[in-house]
Amino acid sequence: MSSSLNSEHSQQSSWAAVDLGPSLPMPVFTSTERWNPERIGALALYCSDGRWGEVFDEFCHRRLLIPRYDRWAVPGGPAWLLPRGKGRDFSQTTREQLDFLIRVHELERIVLISHFGCAFYAELCAKDPNGCIPVQLQEMRDGTALLKRWFPDLTVEAYLAMRRGNNLTFHALGD
């Protein structure tokens, strides 16, 4: 009953004094990261392909300078912005989720990243990775235009993450 009051005590508490609540089992891991409550106001929408996760993170941290950015990882990434005309309208769901994040996470900037060799586009286009690139670029342009229409106050930028052998590069798309 009184745990919510107790949990508001000083952040200087030692671990022994941290109130985990009555029902939690012992921790199995403690992060080396420290909690930072400050929001950066940016979200990146990219493909969930795990081989690219660290690469996207490095680009966002070191080039775009958005630490702690909101990560939205789905198969195909920005591909989900566009209505596909079959089955459920994921575009509408995407808009509702973005609406929510813009409101509660105070988003001001959205970064779209599409990557070379994306399985989503391989299936959509039935082409090899190079053959998919023109479609990916066009869809990013369409996605950018859609976002700007939905949310005129938002800054939207789009990038293609490219791979040649083991070399990974990022390329900004104009309007």
List contacts with Zn ion (CB under 5 A): 47, 49, 118
Helix residue spans in 12-107 (DSSP H): 53-58, 90-104
| 42-46: strand order across its sheet | 70-73, 42-46, 109-115, 155-164, 167-173
Query: Which is closer to Zn ion, CB of 76 or CB of 147?
Result: 76
Minimum distance from residue 148 beta carbon to Zn ion (Å): 24
Query: Which is closer to Zn ion, CB of 50 or CB of 152?
Result: 50
76: left (phi over 0), alpha (psi -120 to 50) or beta: left
Minimum distance from residue 97 beta carbon to Zn ion (Å): 19
Query: Which is closer to Zn ion, CB of 46 or CB of 69?
Result: 46
Query: Which is closer to Zn ion, CB of 118 or CB of 160?
Result: 118
Minimum distance from residue 77 beta carbon to Zn ion (Å): 7
The first and second tokens of residue 105, run together, are 């996470």
The first and second tokens of residue 6, run together, are 């107790």
Sign of dihedral through CA atoms 122, 125, 128, 129?
Answer: negative
Say how far apart CA 101 and CA 84 lie, in whole Å. Answer: 23
Minimum distance from residue 22 beta carbon to Zn ion (Å): 43
Minimum distance from residue 153 beta carbon to Zn ion (Å): 29
Query: Which is closer to Zn ion, CB of 111 or CB of 118?
Result: 118
